[in-house]
Amino acid sequence: MRFGVVVFPGSNCERDCFHLVDQVLGRPVRYVWHQDTALERVDCVILPGGFSYGDYLRPGAIARFSPVMGAVAEHAGAGGLVLGICNGFQILLEAGLLPGAMLRNRSLQFQCQDVFLRVEDVETAFTRLCRPGQVLKVPIKHGDGNYHVDPEDLAARGRVVFRYSEADGRVTPEANPNGSMANIAGLANLEGNVVGLMPHPEVSAEEVLGGTDGRVLLESAVRYWEERGPC
């Protein structure tokens, strides 16, 4: 299974995602330039975190017009895997590949801290190795992660995959770091091949960084792809 990490001007987690796939998982990976119009030799495309186009206008609002986003939509439509992390998630929302929108954090401040995520859906390509209700410790680092969505729109186009929770999995207001509706931290499209989340699994993929809970997302993707077989 081959990974691609998209580089937008202002992306800043692309090297971290590359490192995760290349050094931690030991899988083939290459960078994809924002002006590329095709995703050749890529089975799973990662839209990394950062501040694409400086977050000008609105996080993700300019990046969604990048030439590569047409290819990403096509890839998703053809059943290819797409993972949007933080700014990558925001871009997926702006591009309409996932429902909803982001507001400023309730604190009106950037927040960098560990959070706990309860896995709500183990049927997606990126969570199939999780147990239902499993709790993952993964850090967030964002200023605009306050997720909002029209419930009907969500029901029609998406599935909730992660919610901010306590360490024991209880979903409480106190566990919600940014004001997100219903503690939503990540979601998938109905097909489960496109997943976006605000927390950064690439930062919790090695013991030396404080934990390895984040690995399961990409390990799930690899398993999914192997079971599905080459298309």
Partner 1 sequence: MLEDRPWEAVGLTEEEYRRCRELLGREPNHLELGLVGLMWSEHCSYKTSKVHLAKLPNEGPGVLQGPGENAGVIDLGDGLALAFKIESHNHPSAIEPLQGAATGVGGILRDIITMGAHPIAILDSLRFGLLEAPRNRYLFAGVVAGIGWYGNCFGCPTVGGEVYCEPVYDGNPLVNAMCLGLVRTAGIIRGRAEGPGNPVLLAGAPTGRDGIHGASLLASREFDEKAEERRPSVQVGDPFLGKLLLEACLEARDTGLLVGVNDLGAAGLTSACSETASRAGTGIELELDEVPRREPGMTPYEVMLSESQERMLIIARQGGEEVIARIFRRWGLEAKIIGRVTADGMIRVREGGRMVAEVPAAALTREAPVYHRPERAAERPVLDLGALPDLAPSQAGAWLARLMGSANLASREWVYRQYDHLVGVNTALRPGSDAAVLRFKDRPGGVAAAVDGNGRHCWLAPRLGGALAVAEAARNLTVSGARPVALTNCLNFGNPERPEIMWEFREVIEGMAEACRALGTPVTGGNVSFYNETLGQNIYPTPVVGMVGLLDDIAHVTRQGFQSAGDRIILLGRTRDDLGGGEYLKLAHGLVAGPPPGLDLEAEVRVQALCLEAIRAGMVRSAHDCSDGGLAVALAEMAVAGGEGARGLDVDLAAAGGSRLDTLLFGETPSRIVLAVAPAAAEGLLALARRHGVAAVELGVVTDGRVVLRQGGRTLVDEATADLEAAWKGALPCLMAG
Using the CB atoms, write b or e for 80-90: b if 16+ within 10 Å. Answer: bbbbbbbbbbb
Residue 44 among the catalytic residues = no
- Do the beta carbons of residue 205 and residue 222 sit within 8 Å? no
Q: Is residue 12 part of the contact set for partner 1 (CB under 8 A)?
A: yes
Q: Tell me how far, at minimum, the Cβ of 123 lies from partner 1, in Å.
A: 29
- For partner 1, what does the binding mask look like between residues 109 and 148, x meaning CB under 8 A? xxxxx-------------------------x-x-x-----
Using rule CB under 8 A, residue 10 touches partner 1: yes
Residues 6+ apart with CB under 8 A from 65: none
Q: Which of residues 29-68 bind partner 1 (CB under 8 A)?
A: 49-51, 53-56
Residue 12: HSE in the Cβ half-sphere, 13 Å Cα cutoff: 8
**Residue 86 is a catalytic residue:** yes
| Residue 202 among the catalytic residues | yes
Strand, helix or coil at 17?
helix
How long, in residues, is the chain?
Answer: 231
From 86, 94, 130, 142, active-site residue: 86
Q: List residues near partner 1 by CB under 8 A.
A: 9-10, 12-13, 15-16, 19-20, 23, 49-51, 53-56, 109-113, 139, 141, 143, 200, 202-203, 205-206, 208-210
